[in-house]
Chain A
Amino acid sequence: MNLLIKNGRVIDPSQGLDEVADVLVEAGVVKEIGTNLKAPAGVHAIDVAGKYVVPGLVDMHVHLRDPGLEYKEDIVSGTKAAAAGGFTSLACMPNTKPAIDNKAVASYIINKANTEGFCNVFPVGCITYGMGGERMAEMGELKEAGCVAVSDDGRPVANAELMRRALEYARGIGILVISHAEDLALVGEGVMNEGFTSTELGLKGIPRVAEDIATARDVMLAEYTNSPLHIAHVSTKGSVRIIREAKARGVKVTCETAPHYFTLTDDAVRGYDTNAKMNPPLREADDVAAIKEGLRDGTIDCIATDHAPHHLDEKDVEFNAALNGIIGLETSLPLSLKLVEDGILTVNQLVEKMSCNPSKILGISRGSLRVGAVADLTVIDPAAAWAVETEKLVSKSRNTPFIGWKMKGAAACTIRGGAVVFSR
């Protein structure tokens, strides 16, 4: 587990580092960063000239589908896909079968990831039992079992009183609440964004205000209860505005968006492509612009994938019958690097949003290459040109609208705890 990574551009916003240097890893931790380091005896050296060396990427929003839905993905295939995408850590959402609403399920995931996984897995527990939206789950025990946050992701906590109490209780426990912001009454039977495209295709629309209202409610509850809150998968300009204003007031709110929300619009649904069906739905051009602005000005803290694998049989059906979600672990990095190419983010900001910030928000000791830190590193080849091909996807599922896309940038090497878990 000893490694010398030579000549890379080492970018670590956590210590204001951005320079060509060598990184020496010993016994699974960062031993030294400097120039012209010599490899001690028995240390394998790799030359990564022209590439970026960054703290291992952290995806705080992944559906691993294990336990219970392993036909879509499991902890092994999901973490392998994560490593291929440059991620060394991920937080997995609790909508498994059974749900992560008890210590046993959380422990199962952590143990399996530790023994068989290709990256670190931090489970997110449920806010309510079975995500039923009725009774608070045992957040204390979930935290003890290793959960880093609670969420009913996939469903909102519809009852405002329950959400209020969950925020208060979680503050006491010291665990983060992640909100899936959606007003189900406004969503109704909607299957895509409500707008011109839904009008033309005759598909029932989900209005943007369905997300905005729920975001506003949870932000106000967080403000009222003085509790930290993280808003998952922000997709609308309204949500960005609400969160920006809340942050300016000092509300302890953070949020994430996903690459598809700054890459695609609801035009992708044309042709009734079920691989463009997700929740929240793809929005419109002005939302995409607002998401990018939110990323640029810091309103949006993180880029997460909302990696949501589904079996072919669940997608190769009529549009209304198709399940929501797309896989994202293997395409997130190049799609996000595009923001750097387009001048929206600096590469330093990108590393913050894909590693430092999610680590900080989840309270995990990752996202930094400080001497002594766990040696989770990602070596990024920003120039790697490749195409997304169905057969080459590592994930068990293939539900992505990016099949056939030409990508630029990839993880050249993913190192977890000093060990190479993926190499291109």
Chain B
Amino acid sequence: MAEFKHRNIIALRDLTKEDMELLLATAENMREINSRDIKKVPTLRGKTIINLFYEASTRTRTSFEIAAKRLSADTVNISPSTSSATKGETLADTALNLLAMKPDIIVMRHAVSGAHYHLAKKVTCSVVNAGDGAHEHPSQGLLDLLTIRDRFGRLDGLKVAIVGDITHSRVARSDIQGLTKMGSHVYLAGPPTMMPPAVEKLGSVTVCTTMREAIQDADVVIMLRIQQERQGKTLMPNAREYSRYFGLNPENLKLAKPGAMVMHPGPINRGVEMSSYVVNGSQSHVLKQVENGVAVRMAMLYHVCGGELE
């Protein structure tokens, strides 16, 4: 019988295909709970989960909170403002103070890549990554896998295009790790200013120079969020030109396979990376992603909670 041996879930890079299969199988069965009148099971009764969010996030935090509550865990949300954190307490001290309150899991989002490994060295409870810098966002990666598998019944052999700022995207890294391990073929597109060096060595990844090349005959198109504040300075002229070359619209979507799935981790900049016609169109699975997010996070919390020490 498959067993989940990890105490923490920090990166899909650290998980095997079998680990991810187990999480996805559990998530599928968790969905039944979410469709009931009484959306709650007693599994994590008496467990305390701290949502420690150093970066603002409404949807991920809410999704983790709902996931925890549906498993009957007690949740506490802490959002140290970045300014007070830099002035005062270190992450390690914050963690040790929280640990003294005996949590079972700390779900953390942090702006620094790898901060969770630092945290995990300091605490004895489980650590679940809700996003770290430009490193990984494993729950998003898993919910993307689940959403794609729902539609095709498999992941291996699919052509998945990921378009946008790969360099700064933790979603892209988790998607690449997850998809390539599950046998999908990943095609990346974006301006060269947004393509990190040697990214093709991450697995079965093809770097494309044009968006057309990436989405041609794709089964799935994942669009990444473009932020004028971040990429606007030196990585691209402006959102308008970006949208012309790397935006998804009903026209270029026709290049993908008929009925190809369109996904986006949200929040969407309508009219920049994706036209509203696509967002609202029948090929968009954006809300399905959000729905699967709760089930995937339930599965993650469930499996780390009883997991033996790595």
Contact = CB atoms under 8 A, between A and B. Distances in A.
B114 A318 contact: yes
Interface string A309-332: 000010011111100000000000
Nearest to B117: A272
Contacts of A195: 197-198
25 contacts: A195-B198, A198-B196, A199-B196, A199-B202, A201-B135, A202-B113, A202-B132, A202-B136, A202-B170, A202-B173, A203-B114, A205-B196, A271-B117, A272-B118, A313-B90, A317-B92, A317-B118, A318-B91, A318-B112, A318-B114, A318-B115, A318-B118, A320-B111, A320-B113, A320-B133
Interface string B104-142: 000000111111011000000000000011111000000
Given A202-B134, A202-B170, 12 more contacts: A198-B197, A199-B197, A199-B198, A200-B13, A200-B173, A202-B135, A202-B173, A272-B118, A318-B112, A318-B114, A320-B113, A321-B112
A330 B83 CA distance: 38
Contacts of B115: 318-319
Of A202, A203, A317, A318, chain B has the most CB atoms within 10 Å of the CB of A202
B87 interface: no
Interface of B: 13, 90-92, 110-115, 117-118, 132-136, 167, 170, 173, 196-199, 201-202
Contacts of A171: none
Contacts of B173: 200, 202
Nearest to A199: B196
Contact of B133 (A199, A202, A316): A202
| 9 tightest Cβ-Cβ pairs between the two chains A and B | A202-B135, A272-B114, A196-B198, A199-B196, A202-B134, A202-B113, A318-B112, A318-B115, A320-B112
A205 B113 CA distance: 12
A195 B113 CA distance: 16
A218 interface: no
A320 B91 CA distance: 12
A204 interface: yes
Nearest to B234: A188
Contacts of B197: 194-196, 198-199, 205
A351 B199 CA distance: 42
Contacts of B136: 202
Nearest to B177: A200
Given A198-B196, A318-B112, A318-B115, A204 B201 contact: no
Interface of A: 194-196, 198-205, 271-272, 313, 316-321
Given A202-B132, A202-B133, A272-B117, A319 B198 contact: no
Contacts of A200: 13, 173, 202
Given A202-B170, A271-B117, A318 B110 contact: yes
Given A316-B92, A317-B90, A317-B91, A201 B114 contact: yes
Nearest to A196: B198
A10 to B, nearest CB: 49
A283 to B, nearest CB: 13
Contacts of A198: 196-197
A319 B132 CA distance: 12
A271 B117 CA distance: 7
Given A200-B202, A202-B134, A202-B136, A319 B196 contact: no
A319 B112 contact: yes
Contacts of B90: 313, 317
B224 to A, nearest CB: 14
Contact of B114 (A194, A196, A316, A319): A319
B305 to A, nearest CB: 25
A318 B122 CA distance: 12
Nearest to B132: A202
Of B110, B170, B197, chain A has the most CB atoms within 10 Å of the CB of B197
A313 B92 CA distance: 10
A319 to B, nearest CB: 5
A203 B92 CA distance: 20
Contacts of B170: 202
A194 B173 CA distance: 16
A74 to B, nearest CB: 25
Contacts of B134: 202-204
Contact of A199 (B112, B132, B199): B199
Contacts of B201: 196, 199
Nearest to A185: B234
Contacts of B91: 317-318
Contacts of A201: 113-114, 135
A187 to B, nearest CB: 13
B234 to A, nearest CB: 9
Contacts of B110: 318
Contacts of A313: 90
A44 B118 CA distance: 53
A310 to B, nearest CB: 15
Nearest to A320: B112
A271 B91 CA distance: 17
A198 B170 CA distance: 13
Contacts of A202: 113-114, 132-136, 170, 173
Nearest to B91: A318
A203 B113 contact: yes
Contacts of A205: 196-197
A194 B113 CA distance: 14
Nearest to B113: A202
Contacts of B202: 199-200
A199 B198 CA distance: 7
A313 B90 CA distance: 9
B144 to A, nearest CB: 17
Of A196, A199, A320, chain B has the most CB atoms within 10 Å of the CB of A199
A318 B121 CA distance: 11
A313 B113 CA distance: 19
Contacts of A271: 117
Contacts of A318: 91, 110, 112, 114-115, 118
Nearest to A202: B135
A200 B205 CA distance: 13
Contacts of B132: 202
Contacts of B196: 198-199, 205
A198 B196 CA distance: 8
Of B112, B115, B117, chain A has the most CB atoms within 10 Å of the CB of B112
Contact of A272 (B13, B111, B113, B167): B113
Nearest to A317: B90
